[in-house]
Amino acid sequence: MKKIRIGSGAGYSGDRLEPALALIEHGNLDYISFECLAERTIALAQKEKKNNPQKGYNHLLEYRMEQVLPLAYKNKLKVITNMGAANPFSAMNVICELAKKEGVRGVKVAAILGDDVFDFVKKHPSLQISETGDPLSTIEDKIISANAYLGSEGIVQALKNDADFIITGRVAYPSLFLAPMIHEFNWNIKDYDKLGKGTLVGHLLECAGQVSGGYFADPNKKKVPDL
């Protein structure tokens, strides 16, 4: 039976990097995914992009990828992350430049686009706000960000095109982990039993250290060796 190993490199935008590096080096992984996005963080990223069209990706992207790139290349694993936030295309270019700087040759980097629906929303002020039932026009001047949750399809397509680093904006959290399963096991996109199980795995993995010992250990009171 075919098996793959997927590591969780981060569970929120400012998560520590050291556990991810240990996983890459010693976890015998095929994939590692960094989940670094939330509703608040993507809104902040959109504000930053508005001020500088080249920005809007995760602030720790360069810091993380400077160390992840050479390690992932050496250990032959693929990296998937939503650190693209409001600007996956710029994030992709940053990683390409870092690869050149680090002397990492022959890696493919892909950006998944299509989640930003701000322009569409602005053109449809009659859309209903689900929480209040009011039309969007009532808060039109306050809208900062409008993003749709994409699924796994774009990531799967990038994997089929042999991408090594895949940068997304807003996708459903489990999709970062579900996509490698769909790709590796050749799951039918309408096999909802398998997709449901894969989604459950993805929901657990996107919580990173919180679900893999973070809530069990209590530093200075209950130490867990080699956490």
Round the CA-based radius of gyration of the chain to a whole number and report it: 18
Six-digit token string for 115: 């989640």
Task: State the pLDDT at residue 139.
Answer: 93
- 12-68: pLDDT as tens digits: 999 999 989 999 999 999 999 999 998 889 999 999 999 999 999 999 999 999 999
Mean predicted confidence (pLDDT) in 96-104: 93
Angstrom distance (rounded) from CA 183 to CA 2: 12
Residue 38, C-beta contacts closer than 8 angstroms, at least 6 positions apart: 12, 13
Six-digit token string for 75: 């250990």
Task: State the pLDDT at residue 150.
Answer: 97
CB atoms within 10 A of CB 154: 20
Task: State the pLDDT at residue 165.
Answer: 98
